[in-house]
Amino acid sequence: MRNLTIIETILRDWRRFFAGIREGSGLAEKMRAMLISSVAFFALYGAVMGSSHSLWQALSSAVKLPLLFLATLIVCAPTLYFFNLIFGSNQSLSQNVALMLAAITVTAVLLLSFAPVVLFFLLTTNHYQFFKLLNVGVFTISGIVGVLFLSQGMRIVSYAGKEGARARRNVVRLWILLYAFVGSQMAWTLRPFVGAPGLPFELFRQLGGNFYANIFASIGEFLGFFVVR
């Protein structure tokens, strides 16, 4: 119940929530609540994604989707922290992690809110490429809102002046690009999340190609230009 209270605070009174992070108030409790909530929400959405293929794929995606976001957080957290230090930020590592967890939690909440829509299309269409692109679109929208939330949090938590604020914005922009590239490569490494029809369940696929080429190929197949296997 406490975890849901934290989420409600983030969504309804985010200024007070970020002010609490700035003051270092209950950081451990906040981070624990956000971690538990985001893992649960990612797992639920992952199960919906994977259910388009099989029960094993649903269970696999329910485990891999939280792993995707947490692994990306672990990889990218030191970069944001040290860049902030270089540009004069006085944020601690725990404050940086709390901000990133807040962004991830918002992303997870939005993904869960899209789950009924994704489930509707799962039940009403059997077009694999459309379903995959639908999920990519949902992740893109949710991820953008999450990182914008992070940007707002950085603005409130930082004590920087005008020059420092400009440097902070540049740091956040660079980190968002890094986060997007790392996250997409991590997703490609951990695939499949949906599971191609006609193929047996696979926990992981062999490395090869890249996320962006596959998405463009999926768009091409969806528009009828060619077929992707």
Q: For the chain, which residues make up each domain, given as ranges?
A: 2-222
Is there a contact between 79 and 107 (Cβ–Cβ < 8 Å)? no
Is there a contact between 150 and 14 (Cβ–Cβ < 8 Å)? no
Total-model pTM? 0.87
pLDDT confidence of residue 159: 58
Is there a contact between 53 and 201 (Cβ–Cβ < 8 Å)? yes
pLDDT 10s digits, 133-146? 999 999 999 999 99
Tokens of 66: 């939280």
Can you give the pLDDT of all 229 residues of the chain as single tens digits? Answer: 566 778 888 888 888 899 899 888 888 899 999 999 999 999 999 999 999 999 999 999 999 999 999 999 999 989 888 887 877 777 888 888 999 999 999 999 999 999 999 999 999 988 888 898 999 999 999 999 999 898 888 888 875 555 556 777 777 888 888 998 899 889 988 888 998 888 888 888 877 666 767 777 777 776 766 554 4
pLDDT confidence of residue 9: 85
Instruction: In whole angstroms, give the CA distance from residue 40 to residue 10.
Output: 17
Tokens of 137: 């679109």
